[in-house]
Structure 1
Amino acid sequence: MRLPIKASHVPVRLATGAFILDSGLGKRGADEGTAAGLHGMAAGTYPQLQGQDPQRFVKLLSGGEIALGAALLLPVVPSAVAGAALTAFSAGLLGLYARTPGMRRPGSVFPSPQGIGVAKDVWMLGIGLGLVVDALADRRR
Structure 2
Amino acid sequence: MSLSTTLLRGISGAYFLQSGIGKLNMPTEAAAGLQQFAATGVPQVTKLAPDTFGKFVSYSEIGVAASLLAPVVPNRLAGLMLGAINTGFLSIYFRNDQMTQKDGLRPSEAGTGLSKDIFIAAIAGALIAAPTAAKTKKAGKAEKAEKK
**Normalising by the residue count of structure 2, what TM-score does the alignment of the two structures yield?**
0.85
CA contact (8 A) 1:80 1:135 kept: no
In structure 1, what is the equivalent of residue 74 of structure 2? Answer: 78
Gaps of 5+ in 1: none
Q: Is structure 2 residue 47 aligned with structure 1 residue 47?
A: no
In structure 1, what is the equivalent of residue 57 of structure 2? Answer: 61
Q: How much does 1:139 deviate?
A: 4.2
Q: Which runs of 4+ in 1 moved over 2 A?
A: 5-8, 135-141
Distance 1:77 1:92 in 2: 22
2:18 aligned residue (14, 19, 22): 22
In structure 2, what is the equivalent of residue 106 of structure 1? Answer: 102
Gaps of 5+ in 2: 140-148
1:6 aligned residue (2, 7, 22): 2
Give the % identical residues: 35
Q: Deviation per CA, 1:96-139: give whole Å up to 9, x if none.
A: 10001210112341011100111111111001100111136964
Q: How much does 1:91 deviate?
A: 1.8
Classify the secondary structure of the residue corresponding to 2:52. helix
The letter of the residue matching 2:18 is D
**Normalising by the residue count of structure 1, what TM-score does the alignment of the two structures yield?**
0.89
The letter of the residue matching 1:96 is I
The letter of the residue matching 2:36 is G
Larger radius of gyration: 2
Q: CA RMSD in A?
A: 1.8
